[in-house]
Amino acid sequence: MTTAIHFGAGNIGRGFIGKLLADAGIHVTFADVNPQLVEALSSRHSYPVHIVGQEVRTDTVTGVDAIDSRRPELLELIANTDLITTAVGPTVLTLIARTLAEGLQRRFERGNTAPLNIIACENQVRGTTFLKGEVLKHLDARYLPELEQFVGFVDSAVDRIVPPSTDQSDPLAVTVETFSEWIVDQTQFRGPVPAIPGMELTDNLMAFVERKLFTLNTGHIITAYLGALAGYRTIGEAIADPAIRAQVKAAMQESGAVLIRRYGFDQAQHQAYIEKILGRFANPHLVDEIDRVGRQPIRKLGPEDRLIKPLLGTLEYGIDNANLLKGIAAAFCYRNDDDPQAVELQQRLATEGLKTALAHYTGLDAGSVVAEQIEQRYLALSH
Ligand SMILES: NC(=O)c1ccc[n+]([C@@H]2O[C@H](COP(=O)([O-])OP(=O)(O)OC[C@H]3O[C@@H](n4cnc5c(N)ncnc54)[C@H](O)[C@@H]3O)[C@@H](O)[C@H]2O)c1
Ligand SMILES: O=P(O)(O)OC[C@@H](O)[C@@H](O)[C@H](O)[C@H](O)CO
């Protein structure tokens, strides 16, 4: 039987990736640090997935197990498994890299030369390649040839809106939208590519990663930050506000103009992609908190992430960017005392001022015209 270890039994882990693997007949062991999730999954071996959208139904995922990712027994699983996937959050990949390196070392010491593919399913451009770099920091260099020969680090783009479930009756229940898309880089596998319905292959991954991250996630984050400024609690409330919807759509069109120029996407098809995403944001069956979408603002202000990378593209190609600039300014207005990154952002803003904080987090030049434009928009939004 094909086995997989999935790091991160959270929303997307249970609601999308783990479900796809289990539905494909793969035995999935979730590795997580949440004791309630680990205990429930390892005792029940199944959980409900509420699919809500044009259709509403509940599927039951079966044949799963779980382990605390800090337990030494996990190394034995890594030494023998066929597939590893992750959905822990980009900031956590560094933390699981040591465990992966130790498990891989045990695999190689055992002489296990069966191919193993590792796929990070994170909102991060080439997150698996980043994870490989972190693993190499902990792997004994003598095993580098085996790693290169037998272990594929496969980058992916993953798309399904999965907020925390509103089903309070079951801690394992997860509520997902109907839409889903998981695209992986077929050039990076070792051995045969596993046949997993719902896992799409491409040799042009960057186009799909950037299309998703810099359309859906760009629109999502601006919806969240403009919605927070307007006093809304959920994405649904915010996108129902005509003024916010118009600004979000315009920002997605600005980032879309960059994508069309960079990847040659068809204009009409990309416009339809934007409209579909706006409809997904408005899904009346999903309750998606602004604080979930707006979480970790420092990560999302990074130069390779959903706000700044599209902005840099508009500067490169000379494309309008007024709405992206407003979204970036709104990021600096975001407050959430329960989000350490939001707290840090506000502290740095208060002590160093907008332009210095902007330069620190985004890499933009504090003395640039664009920094001035963002500061002007920030002052207008924050007063
Ligand atoms: N939820 C979505 O709509 C969605 C959609 C696409 C992509 N993503 C991406 O998927 C990833 C996970 O997002 P999520 O919404 O599922 O988050 P989540 O918080 O629901 O799940 C993350 C899980 O990782 C676990 N975890 C934390 N540290 C760990 C460790 N050291 N070892 C093992 N598990 C650990 C947490 O306990 C949690 O269960 C992120 O990169 C996110 O950007 C999320
Ligand atoms: O998961 P994050 O924190 O990178 O971004 C929050 C949401 O925008 C994200 O989870 C979306 O729901 C998801 O990317 C949809 O595919």
First to last CA, the chain: 61
Arithmetic mean of pLDDT, 265-283: 98
What pLDDT was estimated at residue 361?
Answer: 98
CA of 145 to the centre of ligand 2 (A): 36
Please say if the pLDDT value at position 167 is more than 90: no
Q: What is the CA radius of gyration of the chain?
A: 21
Q: Are 294 and 229 in contact (CB under 8 A)?
A: no
Residues with CB under 6 A from ligand 1: 7-13, 31-34, 37, 69, 87-90, 92, 95-96, 122-123, 158-162
Residue 168 has pLDDT above 90, yes or no: no
The yes/no answer to whether this complex scores an ipTM above 0.85 is: yes
Domain coordinates in residue numbering, the chain? 3-201, 206-382
**Taking the CB of residue 98, how many other CB atoms lie within 10 A of it?**
14
142 assigned binding-site residue: no
pTM of the predicted model as reported, rounded to 2 decimal places: 0.97
What are the CA-CA distances from residue 303 to residues 33, 328, 359, 361 (Å)? 30, 12, 10, 8
Q: Ligand 1: which of 34, 88, 211, 212 to mutate, judged by most atoms within 8 Å of the beta carbon?
A: 88
CATH for the stretch 3-201 = 3.40.50.720
CATH no. of 206-382: 1.10.1040.10
The pLDDT value given to residue 285: 93
Instruction: Indicate the top mutation candidate among 121, 125, 161, 218 to test ligand 2's pocket, ranked by most ligand atoms within 8 A of CB.
Output: 161
Over residues 210-244, the pLDDT tens digits come to 999 999 999 999 999 999 999 999 999 999 999 99
pLDDT higher than 90, residue 1: no
How crowded is residue 220: how many other Cβ atoms within 10 Å of its Cβ?
A: 27
Q: Do domains 3-201 and 206-382 have the same CATH topology?
A: no
- At 276, is the secondary structure helix, strand, or coil? helix
Average pLDDT, the chain: 97
Of the chain, the percentage scoring pLDDT greater than 70 comes to 100
Residue nearest to atom 11 of ligand 2 (CA): 161
Q: What is the pLDDT of residue 383?
A: 81
Residue 293 Cβ inside 6 Å of ligand 2? The answer reads: yes
Q: Tell me, what's the pLDDT at 128?
A: 98
